[in-house]
Amino acid sequence: MNKKSWVWSISALALLWAGNALALDTKAKNMILMDYTTGEYLFEKNASDPIPPASMSKLMTIYVLFDKLRNGSLSLDDTFKVSENAWRKGGAPSGGSTMFLAIGDEVKVDELLKGIIIQSGNDACIVAAENIAGDEDSFVDIMNHKAQELGLKNSHFANVTGLPHPDHRMSVEDLAKLAQRIISEFPQFYHLFSQKEFTYNNIKQGNRNPLLYSMPYADGLKTGHTEEAGFCLTASAKKGDRRIIGVMTGLASNKERSEEADKVMSWAFREYDNYNLIEKGRKIADLPVQYGVNKTVPLVVSQDVVKTIRKSLRNQVKLVASYDKPVRAPIEMGQQLGVLKIEVPGSEVMEVPLIAGQTINKVGLWGKMVANVKYLLIGDL
């Protein structure tokens, strides 16, 4: 068989890129910027390091609650009772973020969710954990199991609040992946993250996400702050059809967090875009077929290919199709016959299967004999 390649360049692939001076500089200790649609990383800094996530880890507490609402084991109208432990450990006496629940309060799940998402209430997290799992440790077991299911490889939880603990760690990469899952899996609840204020017990508190006030297209997700973690943020913003997720930690102040978040999210929208490089079903070639009822089989792209590309490199993409020919019948529709490689300067090569566009049955014994004779006479199968 002969190896053949089909090459299509949006333009010539540049060997050197003069625009590389536009690299992002950040004050954050850890950071990741992710395109929501493609899952591609636009920027990374210590992204896989397990670090103290502070209240950003409440996103896992929230995910578990959303998951239980989805499977029907929990309802927004369910009512939970506030224990003295939840009040003392997570409420006003603790000095941390609180929803200002009172001992003995009967509070709806709908209100607890708002207390966690908007007010970052530690008390609300503990109340939810105790009423769902019996105690906080049992709920934490659920969180750790769910993290494994979601493929969060650098996350381990020791509590439901994000309060300092040596065994409570997440990476900014895991936080970005978790944010992506929350947005995609729970659109019916996602609007809560952009709600700017919530009042409980006649105490009104504002959402602590600074981007909600400075960036018109920001709509989530969660802030965090402890002395060890610094000022942190898991952010999401949608501009037109594009959504960017950004996670940052280790900033020195609320002001610095706000300025840095605005800067890096604006940079991501300005410097990158999503491009439809090739559509599903596009025919790349007609491959000759040995011993088939048809002489050729169409080789087609198996999926739409959308990539997040730096705008300055959009004309430097190279697509290379590689396949063997001829192929031997029988051939099933959808059978992989080659691979399409997408090359972008500075990025890992992406590979997409090339598949048969139709089924080709094998000829019978007589047909095979005719084909062999033909090959002996003129060298053409």
Looking at residue 272, its amino acid is: Y
8 Å CB contact between 296 and 286: yes
Dihedral sign, Cα of residue 22, residue 28, residue 32, residue 36: negative
Instruction: State CA 134 to chain mean position distance.
Output: 31
The reply to whether 318 belongs to the active site is no
The backbone region for 220, taken as left when phi is positive above 0, alpha when psi lies in -120 to 50, beta otherwise, is left
* Beta-bridge partner residues of 306: 276
Count CB-CB contacts under 10 A for residue 325: 19
Count of CA atoms in the C-beta half-sphere (13 A) of 51: 31
Selected catalytic residue, list 120, 155, 171, 236: 120
Spatial neighbors of 373 by CB under 8 A, at least 6 apart, are none
State the angle between helix axes of 172-185 and 58-71 in degrees (0 to 180), rounded to the nearest 10. Answer: 30
Clarify whether 97 is annotated catalytic.
no
From the candidates 45, 57, 58, 155, give the one annotated as an active-site residue. 58
CA dist., res. 115 & res. 200, Å (int)? 8
Is residue 120 among the annotated active site residues? Answer: yes
Q: Which residues are catalytic?
A: 55, 58, 120
